[in-house]
Amino acid sequence: MSAAHKRIYIEDVVEPARIRTQSFAKAFPAAAAMWDHKKNCGFGPEDFSFRSHVRAWFKCPKGRDHRFQVQIAAMANAMLSQSKTMGCGFCNSKRVSVTNNLAETYPEIAKEWMPKKNKLSPQDVPAGSCKYAWWKCPKGHTYEAQISNRTAEGTGCVRCNVGEPLDLRTYPRAYKEFDRKQNKGVDPHCLSSTAKYAWNCSADPRHHWIAGFYRDSKNRIRCPFCRNQKGSPGNNLKASHPHLAKQWHPTKNGDTTAKDVTFGSGFKAWWKCHQGPDHEWQTSVANRTGLQTDCPFCKMRRTSVTNIISTQAPKLAKEWHPRKNGKIKPDQVRIHSMTQFWWLCSKCSFEWRAAPIYRITRGNGCPQCARKKHGKMMSKRLKDNPELRFKKQSGLT
């Protein structure tokens, strides 16, 4: 992580910024109740705005080890979206704990875990993880499967679960989409659950794909193009959103291109904005199209060499107080930040607090130097214009 992308942790905060909107405690009392007072260095939820980017500690009541550090603004967003996990990384299976690990919650499945091949133990992964792992069934078959599929979907050994042949006649839509030319010699009344077959979309004849067949809802749409899982010649990001396709990262998305995804895809892609050398970020395609999100660096939501004090306002950087801002440096703060920081005048060594945005947009400098300059100007003006001096009026003592 470059200096421009360093996060601000509560351990680095010397003095919280002045609250310009509602405090976190007042705006989101339920989330504020999860505030970890022991680990937050004496600060309380009332000391920060609900939009603060400071990473504070929280503890979730659903687990004794559910302690996590996250941006205050992210917790506020979790509450606004009515998240069932209330922003807890353990409850949403992004972090492992004693309450959600595979060994604790699914001991029978954990017995099939292959620790040497996975280089982890069942205690090290959440039961709801989307990661793939290696398993060994009681009959000695080894196979790879997603952890969440094994726990939430109840899937097991592929070789043991071959079961009875599948009859497509009980699945009208799939029976219609079965490509009889490409699957020549295959009886649709007796399909293997482990083989892959060719299919033609009943809604769009241009859509062809190869996939296995699984027992599920009888009339489910299986076409990956219609479900916006794959891009087709007339339905892909480059065709529908060419301006976004231009920001598709040329190297970080592997073999996947803007032609391979649709505008509603959940694929978490890397993007590159040409307005800055470090304007690279990752978010889903759906976020960029549905939420119309732009470059977070150009929008001043993330720090970059194009918007930090050290590169965009070097004169201000020289006046950054070396001690009173804790571990926060000018290469971590955006020029439009409204947070107040400490400054040290290079001329008179006066110390004062001010927000970078006002120092830059209004040209605010050292207040003591400004007062001295104003005093000198007034003295010179009075000296050059003696008629402006106040005259003693008669009758006044």
pLDDT at position 308 over 70: yes
What is the per-residue pLDDT across 139-151, written as a single tens digit (0 to 9) for each? 898 988 888 878 7
Q: Measuring CA to CA, which residue among 29, 25, 9, 22 is closest to residue 70?
A: 9
Give this prediction's pTM.
0.48
**CA separation (Å) from 65 to 100, 124, 356?**
11, 14, 39
In the chain, % of residues over pLDDT 70: 85
What is the per-residue pLDDT across 360-390, written as a single tens digit (0 to 9) for each? 888 888 988 988 877 667 777 766 777 666 5
What is the per-residue pLDDT across 61-119, written as a single tens digit (0 to 9) for each? 988 889 999 999 889 888 887 777 788 888 877 788 888 899 988 898 999 999 999 98
In the chain, % of residues over pLDDT 90: 36
pLDDT at position 22 over 90: no
Determine whether 134 is exposed, middle or buried from the number of CB atoms within 10 Å of its CB (0-12, 13-18, 19+): middle
Can you give the pLDDT at residue 228?
Answer: 63
- Measured distance CA(40)–CA(393) in Å, rounded: 63
In a 3-state reduction of DSSP, which class is residue 177? helix
Do residues 103 and 122 touch, judged by C-beta distance below 8 A?
Answer: yes
- Measured distance CA(370)–CA(376) in Å, rounded: 10
pLDDT at position 397 over 70: no
Do residues 271 and 250 touch, judged by C-beta distance below 8 A?
Answer: no
| pLDDT, greater one: 392 or 214 | 214
CA atoms within 13 A on the CB side of 38: 3
Instruction: Break the chain into its structural domains and give their ranges.
Output: 3-80, 102-151, 228-304, 309-369
- Where does the pLDDT of residue 57 fall: very low under 50, low under 70, confident under 90, or very high at 90 and above? very high
- Where does the pLDDT of residue 154 fall: very low under 50, low under 70, confident under 90, or very high at 90 and above? low
Return the exposure string of 51-81: e unless at least 16 CB atoms fall within 10 Å of the residue's CB, then b.
bbbbbbbbbbeeeeebbbbebbbebbebbee
Do residues 341 and 356 touch, judged by C-beta distance below 8 A?
Answer: yes
**CB neighbours of residue 395 within 10 Å:** 5
The top-scoring range by mean pLDDT among 134-148, 205-219, 268-282, 378-392 is: 268-282
pLDDT at position 393 over 80: no
Mean of the pLDDT values across residues 242-266?
A: 89
- Measured distance CA(146)–CA(77) in Å, rounded: 29
Can you give the pLDDT at residue 5?
Answer: 45
Q: Measuring CA to CA, which residue among 274, 271, 273, 248 is closest to residue 259?
A: 248
- Where does the pLDDT of residue 2 fall: very low under 50, low under 70, confident under 90, or very high at 90 and above? very low
Taking the CA atoms of residue 108, residue 113, residue 115 and residue 118 in that order, the dihedral angle to the nearest 10 degrees is -140
Q: Which of 62-66, 181-185, 191-195, 273-277 has the lowest mean pLDDT?
A: 191-195
- Measured distance CA(228)–CA(219) in Å, rounded: 17
pLDDT at position 229 over 70: no
Backbone angles phi, psi at 255, to 5 degrees: -90, -5
- Where does the pLDDT of residue 4 fall: very low under 50, low under 70, confident under 90, or very high at 90 and above? very low
pLDDT at position 44 over 80: yes
Determine whether 363 is exposed, middle or buried from the number of CB atoms within 10 Å of its CB (0-12, 13-18, 19+): exposed
Q: Measuring CA to CA, which residue among 88, 144, 100 is closest to residue 126?
A: 100
pLDDT at position 222 over 80: no
- Where does the pLDDT of residue 3 fall: very low under 50, low under 70, confident under 90, or very high at 90 and above? very low
